[in-house]
């Protein structure tokens, strides 16, 4: 009876020592007296091992690598402050355990490799290539190179990316000066364009005004000329019937117009008006 209990207890303890779980976020290796045995345990779930063997767990998730910005010189000799990051994971826990053991150990291997790859690769390109879309290609090269070099540590670099690439202060100053000059040029252009447009509109307006008035003048002259012509025609038609009488009547009409209240008229007593006065006829 007693021995049965002992056996049961020992079995329980044995089970407790040999059963272990690996989470989805973990992976592990089994160590026997300091020496790794078997394949690494990648698959999550319940596993068993020999009770005396030891389990070492590692992260399976993607890990971050982020360092202080570093100064880098581009091909066109521009000094850049580059702040980059990388995402990585432990892909071979056995190699990783042998080479670096901990995450911090891993980071200390990643750091010099990524740094030098970035330095080398960015040094082959001009600033514009580093800044624009071509950056992606450059960083792909960095990623591939770093990945190759970190493979032996059981580390996989997923990507290396530039967070920030700022110009150094003196380069920045030059950029500011250029930006100001550029904007001043634009402002000037807008102002003179405004004047140009305004002058065009005004000139066009004046032209249009002159044309409108000239056309109206032309039309009005035509109309009044026509009126004059018609009038002449009417007069001529009437007066033709007796030109002498017309002359007589028209002269009388003219007197009325020519002689007004400011006129001094010197009349000869011989004039027809006074014929009767003098007793002629």
The number of residues that bind other proteins (CB under 8 A) is 113
Say whether residue 245 binds other proteins (CB under 8 A): yes
Say whether residue 239 binds other proteins (CB under 8 A): yes
Q: How far is the CB of 40 from other proteins (least distance, A)?
A: 15
When binding is defined by CB under 8 A, the residue of 252, 279, 280, 281 that contacts other proteins is 252
Say whether residue 144 binds other proteins (CB under 8 A): no
Q: Of 3 and 264, which has the nearer Cβ to other proteins?
A: 264
Say whether residue 79 binds other proteins (CB under 8 A): no
Q: Which residues contact 95 (CB under 8 A, 6 or more apart)?
A: 152, 153, 154
Question: What is the footprint of other proteins within residues 18-57 (CB under 8 A)?
Answer: 21-26, 43-46
CB neighbour burial string for 185-216, b if at least 16 within 10 angstroms, e if fewer? eeeeeeeeeeeeeeeeeeeeeeeeeeeeeeee
CB 155 within 8 A of CB 88: yes
Structure-block tokens of residue 188: 């000037």
Say whether residue 176 binds other proteins (CB under 8 A): yes
CB 106 within 8 A of CB 174: no
Q: In the 8-state DSSP scheme, what is residue 168?
A: P
Q: How far is the CB of 253 from other proteins (least distance, A)?
A: 8
CB 117 within 8 A of CB 82: no
Q: How far is the CB of 216 from other proteins (least distance, A)?
A: 3
Return the number of other C-beta atoms located less than 10 Å from residue 184's C-beta.
10
Question: What is the footprint of other proteins within residues 87-106 (CB under 8 A)?
Answer: 87
When binding is defined by CB under 8 A, the residue of 9, 12, 42, 273 that contacts other proteins is 273
Q: Helices 135-150 and 103-122 sit at what angle, rounded to 10 degrees?
A: 140
Q: Of 170 and 261, which has the nearer Cβ to other proteins?
A: 261
When binding is defined by CB under 8 A, the residue of 90, 107, 113, 127 that contacts other proteins is 127
**Window of 2-10, 110-118, 128-136, 144-152 that interacts with other proteins by CB under 8 A:** 128-136
Say whether residue 61 binds other proteins (CB under 8 A): yes
Question: What is the footprint of other proteins within residues 179-238 (CB under 8 A)?
Answer: 179-180, 182-184, 186-191, 193-195, 197-202, 204-206, 208-209, 212-213, 215-217, 219-224, 226-228, 230-235, 237-238
Q: Of 50 and 259, which has the nearer Cβ to other proteins?
A: 259
Match 């920030």 to its residue by tokens: 164
Q: Which residues contact 20 (CB under 8 A, 6 or more apart)?
A: 28, 46, 47, 48, 49, 55
Q: How far apart are CA 132 and CA 235, in angstroms?
A: 92
Q: Of 64 and 170, which has the nearer Cβ to other proteins?
A: 64
When binding is defined by CB under 8 A, the residue of 1, 4, 5, 265 that contacts other proteins is 265
Q: Which residues contact 25 (CB under 8 A, 6 or more apart)?
A: 59, 60, 61
Say whether residue 12 binds other proteins (CB under 8 A): no
């Amino acid at each position: 009876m007693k021995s049965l209990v002992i056996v049961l207890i020992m079995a329980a303890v044995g089970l407790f020592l040999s059963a272990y779980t690996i989470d989805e976020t973990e992976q592990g290796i089994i160590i026997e007296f300091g020496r790794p045995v078997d394949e690494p345990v990648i698959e999550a779930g319940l596993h068993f091992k020999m009770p005396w063997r030891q389990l070492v767990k590692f992260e399976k998730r993607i890990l971050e690598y982020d360092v202080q910005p570093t100064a880098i010189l581009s091909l066109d000799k521009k000094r850049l402050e580059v702040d980059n990051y990388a995402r990585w994971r432990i892909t071979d826990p056995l190699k990783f355990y042998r080479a670096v053991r901990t995450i911090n150990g891993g980071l200390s291997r990643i750091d010099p490799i990524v740094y030098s790859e970035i330095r080398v690769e960015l040094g082959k390109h001009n600033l514009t290539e580093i800044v624009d879309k071509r950056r992606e290609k450059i960083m792909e090269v960095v990623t591939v190179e770093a990945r190759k070099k970190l493979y032996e540590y059981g580390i996989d670099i997923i990507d290396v990316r530039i967070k920030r690439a700022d110009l150094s202060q003196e380069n920045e100053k030059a950029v500011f000066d250029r930006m100001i000059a550029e904007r001043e040029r634009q402002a000037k252009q807008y102002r003179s364009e405004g004047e140009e447009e305004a002058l065009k509109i005004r000139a066009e307006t004046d032209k249009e005004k002159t044309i409108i008035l000239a056309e109206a003048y032309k039309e009005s002259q035509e109309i009044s000329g026509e009126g004059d012509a018609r009038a002449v025609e009417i007069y001529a038609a009437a007066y033709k019937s007796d030109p002498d009488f017309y002359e007589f009547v028209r002269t009388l009409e003219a007197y009325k117009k020519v002689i007004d209240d400011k006129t001094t008229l010197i009349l000869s007593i011989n004039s027809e008006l006074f014929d009767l006065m003098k007793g002629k006829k």
